[in-house]
């Protein structure tokens, strides 16, 4: 099963915008760097725009730029802006309520899912887009 790459693409795109300072950047240019279709990038930019992380303009001089300074945007905001889905999904069909495991497994896994999501957001909130941009520029991992 493939992991969702929306978050990593969004961070990539935002790091590109951080490097362009206040200039508008076209989605085609961003898509080349991410190595994906410009439509995918435009969809991401739409979500980031709704979260007030980018400002996008259409037209010949259009493109996107950051709505705030990179040091004011933390990775948890980006994570929340992008609909990545859950860390894991519960089974689509309800388990048997007659089974001693099946009758409680969804509640247990749902609680675990919320705990994991909270932990991810706490960890991501420690890093800003500026931190990522600087690490990329310096080649640090």
**What is the distance between the alpha carbons of residues 51 and 78, in angstroms, rounded to a whole number?**
8
Lowest mean pLDDT among 5-9, 13-17, 53-57, 89-93: 89-93
Residue 139 has pLDDT above 90, yes or no: no
Alpha helices in 6-71 (DSSP H): 6-19, 27-34, 38-50
E-only strand ranges, 30-119: 54-57, 63-66
Q: How many residues does the chain have?
A: 141
Model's pTM, two decimal places? 0.86
Residue 49 to residues 105, 115, 135, Cα–Cα distance (Å): 38, 28, 25
Residue 1 has pLDDT above 70, yes or no: no
Domain ranges of the chain: 6-85+128-138
Write down the pLDDT at residue 33: 96
Banded model confidence at residue 3, pLDDT cuts 50, 70, 90: low
Average pLDDT, the chain: 91
pLDDT in tens, 45-103: 999 999 999 999 988 889 999 999 999 999 999 999 997 767 777 888 889 999 999 99
E-only strand ranges, 22-132: 54-57, 63-66
Nearest CA to 69 out of 137, 139, 18, 13 is that of: 18
**Architecture in CATH of 6-85+128-138:** Orthogonal Bundle (1.10)
């Amino acid at each position: 099963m493939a992991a969702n790459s929306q978050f990593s693409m969004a961070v990539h795109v935002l790091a590109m915008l951080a490097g362009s300072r206040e200039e508008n950047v076209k989605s085609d240019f961003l898509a080349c760097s991410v190595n994906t279709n410009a439509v995918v990038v435009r969809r991401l930019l739409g979500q980031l725009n709704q979260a007030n992380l980018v400002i996008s303009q259409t037209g010949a001089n259009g493109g996107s730029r950051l709505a705030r300074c990179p040091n004011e945007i933390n990775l948890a905001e980006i994570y929340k802006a992008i609909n990545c889905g859950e860390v894991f999904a519960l089974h689509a069909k309800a388990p048997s309520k007659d089974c001693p495991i099946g009758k409680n497994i969804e509640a247990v896994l749902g609680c675990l899912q919320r705990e994991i999501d909270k932990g991810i957001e706490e960890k991501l909130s420690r890093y800003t887009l500026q931190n990522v941009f600087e690490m990329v520029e310096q080649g640090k991992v």
